[in-house]
Structure 1
Amino acid sequence: MRDLSGLIQLLLTLLIFVPFERLFAARPQRIFRRGLLTDVTFLLLNGWLVTVGLIVITTVAILVNRSILPSAARQAIDDLPYLVQVPLVIVIADLGVYWAHRMLHDVPAMWHIHAVHHAVEELDWLAAVHQHPLDVMFLKAGSLFPLFALGFSTEAIGTYVFVYYWQSCLVHANVRLSYGPLRHILVSPEFHHWHHSSEMAARDKNFAGIFSFYDLLFGSIYLPKGQTAKTFGVDNPMPSSYLALLAYPFMVWASRFKRHDPSST
């Protein structure tokens, strides 16, 4: 049943975003672009690897909820109606995404994991899945761990996961959308495209997933008026195949360890 629902979701995403990108393209780009097959492989295989991490994250978070969180706090959250929980869940989760995402950029060892995502040079909706499994797990830990630890309902958390899925596809999509006066409140494709930009001024900016005001609040926003991001990717050459991209951070770590290991000389 889960596989069927996943297939339906994928087909629905295709039916929405492929014509959407044709009608409102931000840049001329083929549907069958470079790296498409690699991204399809990420889409089909990453879920199995990430599931193990999600089980660990949710299990530890539930243990924290039951053993550390005061019973009064658990009861207060449990008593909140679904329509109150959902906005709270989205705000809390996106704050977690912001700081987890920022750490992936700021901590050199973690950047080598996240660089796999930034290796994409032609952005479209499918680029959203071009992520190392460790990258996905870390971002999920930032967003889902506090939600399960605080004891929000599975329905409210499930709603956030649904919203985040569609938001992630949208902000990576090759479409012209800036949101006008809401651009400093909500993350738009324009906002996130700058995050992927290879331009120096845009480096390490725009970390939020849903609410751009987090970047405004923490001084990491980059949205030059009247301009759009045009080139994407990282400075150093990156592998192009799925298995090589999975191995990439481990190869970099091993290389740096060997370079700093006195016994290797």
Structure 2
Amino acid sequence: MSDQPRPRRSYAAYASALLGLLSLFGVLCFHFPELLTSQDFRKVYTEQFARHLLLVGLVAAFVLGTLAILRDRNKRVALTGVGAATLAVLLGGTNVQFDSIGKTPYSLGLDWFVISLFFSALVFVPMERFLGKRELSPLRPGWRTDLAYFFMSHVLVQFILILVTASTSTIAGLALFPSLKAAIQSLPTWAQFLIAVFVADLAQALLHRAYHNIPWLWRFHAVHHSSRAMDWLAGSRVHFVEIVLTRSAVLLPLLVLGFSASAVNAYVVLVGLQAVLAHANLGIRFGWLEYLLVLPRYHHWHHARHKDYLDVNYAIHLPLVDMLMGTFKLPKKQEEWPEEYGVMKLETVPRGILGQHLMPFQGGKKFDDYVA
């Protein structure tokens, strides 16, 4: 066996592959908007914006892929990017035309996946490169699994919403706490938003603690904790069942108490941003803000493979929630970070998204090919 070091991966080649495939997905969205794009998300961006973004992706995929090929670095990966971009152009590129988009009972959120992944990577990859607590490659072990989870949660967003709505609509329709509901609805949107953050975080923290302390729930949640590296993509590793359960538990009190659509929508935006930020590999010293908001070091200790941190830091937004629950714990020295991440019994969680989705139904089985 050779002792020669493995050649370094070319980020240009992988960026080309990512952009080429995203561009191809974008062209498919233009061809089949009713089936592949989310009706709710289409309201957020314009057709012109999508076409300009597609053009940027195509040009960058060709340039970065060609550069990697000329440098003889990860040529197969670079050719994937150039080939995908070429196919996207042959399928019409930015010139694909379509009539008005009709309504369908359901659709995939491929546009949500493309745009979210593009901008998340654009923001967090450079940030983690220059401000990271650890020197961690974007292509670290397990990144393909986490990218598959990112794809699943975004593309199936409408199906998740249908399941969440079905599980909460009946109870939410009950006229519970009418006086409290009226009082909340009389408040300005910003006040409703702040209260909604606290209520939702408390509901989620209680469920989160149940995930850790009830064995059959833990098997679902163990998937999320199985990531051995923490970065912006790691937070995507969540079992489909847990996604539905958690979103239902969070949405239910917000609907029952009658928060306005604007306040709920603002909360949804916060969830998306903070979920990525809390898992990110950022070594910034936030000082007193760590006691006001859940930031990377706070949540990283929740993911620590350390016996003293198995039952702490359940809040997603506000450390105050953990303080009230008696589960707040954070080293006072800001330079103290976990040495290792992952579940305590590594052999109980297999590799790969398919195996991890089947794992909770296999009764605590131990696996030979596990997350190590």
Question: TM-score, length-normalised on structure 1?
Answer: 0.88
Whether 1:179 aligns to 2:290 is no
DSSP 3-state at the match of 2:363: helix
Match of 1:156 in 2: 263
Whether 1:225 aligns to 2:336 is no
- Measure, in 2, the Cα distance between the counterparts of 1:162 and 1:48: 17
Q: 1:58 to 1:27 in 2, by over 3 A?
A: same
Asked if structure 2 preserves the Cα contact closer than 8 Å seen for 1:93 and 1:146, the reply is: yes
Question: What is the CA distance between 1:160 and its match in structure 2?
Answer: 0.6
- Measure, in 2, the Cα distance between the counterparts of 1:39 and 1:190: 20
Match of 1:240 in 2: 351
Cα deviation per residue 1:114-139 (whole Å; 9 max; x = unaligned)? 00011100111101110101112222
Match of 1:27 in 2: 134
Asked if structure 1 preserves the Cα contact closer than 8 Å seen for 2:113 and 2:154, the reply is: no
- Measure, in 1, the Cα distance between the counterparts of 2:122 and 2:155: 24
- Measure, in 1, the Cα distance between the counterparts of 2:202 and 2:194: 12
- Measure, in 2, the Cα distance between the counterparts of 1:78 and 1:205: 34
- Measure, in 1, the Cα distance between the counterparts of 2:328 and 2:184: 32
The 5 A counterparts of 1:115-264 are 115-226=222-333, 227-234=336-343, 235-237=345-347, 238-252=349-363
- Measure, in 2, the Cα distance between the counterparts of 1:156 and 1:99: 22
- Measure, in 2, the Cα distance between the counterparts of 1:89 and 1:83: 10
- Measure, in 1, the Cα distance between the counterparts of 2:248 and 2:180: 21
Asked if structure 2 preserves the Cα contact closer than 8 Å seen for 1:94 and 1:143, the reply is: yes
Max Rg structure:
2
Matched to 2:132, the amino acid is A
Asked if structure 1 preserves the Cα contact closer than 8 Å seen for 2:113 and 2:151, the reply is: no
Question: What is the CA distance between 1:76 and its match in structure 2?
Answer: 3.3
Q: 1:222 to 1:70 in 2, by over 3 A?
A: closer
Select the structure with the greater relative contact order (CA < 8 A; seq sep ≥ 6). 1
- Measure, in 1, the Cα distance between the counterparts of 2:360 and 2:308: 25
The RMSD of aligned alpha carbons is: 2.1
Match of 1:95 in 2: 202
Match of 2:79 in 1: none
Q: 1:196 to 1:252 in 2, by over 3 A?
A: same
Question: What is the CA distance between 1:248 and its match in structure 2?
Answer: 0.6
Match of 1:259 in 2: none
Asked if structure 2 preserves the Cα contact closer than 8 Å seen for 1:65 and 1:74, the reply is: no
Match of 1:41 in 2: 148
Cα deviation per residue 1:25-78 (whole Å; 9 max; x = unaligned)? 111211101111111111112345564453343345343343332544444333
- Measure, in 2, the Cα distance between the counterparts of 1:10 and 1:170: 14
- Measure, in 2, the Cα distance between the counterparts of 1:129 and 1:96: 20
Segments of 5+ residues of structure 1 without an aligned counterpart are 257-265
- Measure, in 1, the Cα distance between the counterparts of 2:121 and 2:306: 30
Question: What is the CA distance between 1:217 and its match in structure 2?
Answer: 2.1
Segments of 5+ residues of structure 2 without an aligned counterpart are 1-36, 39-108, 367-372
Question: What is the CA distance between 1:9 and its match in structure 2?
Answer: 2.5
- Measure, in 2, the Cα distance between the counterparts of 1:43 and 1:73: 37
Most deviating of 190-199 and 176-185: 176-185
Question: What is the CA distance between 1:231 and its match in structure 2?
Answer: 0.5
Question: TM-score, length-normalised on structure 2?
Answer: 0.64
Cα deviation per residue 1:221-262 (whole Å; 9 max; x = unaligned)? 221122111200112322111100000101126x69xxxxxx
Matched to 1:29, the amino acid is L
Whether 1:76 aligns to 2:183 is yes
Higher helix share: 1
Asked if structure 2 preserves the Cα contact closer than 8 Å seen for 1:50 and 1:136, the reply is: no
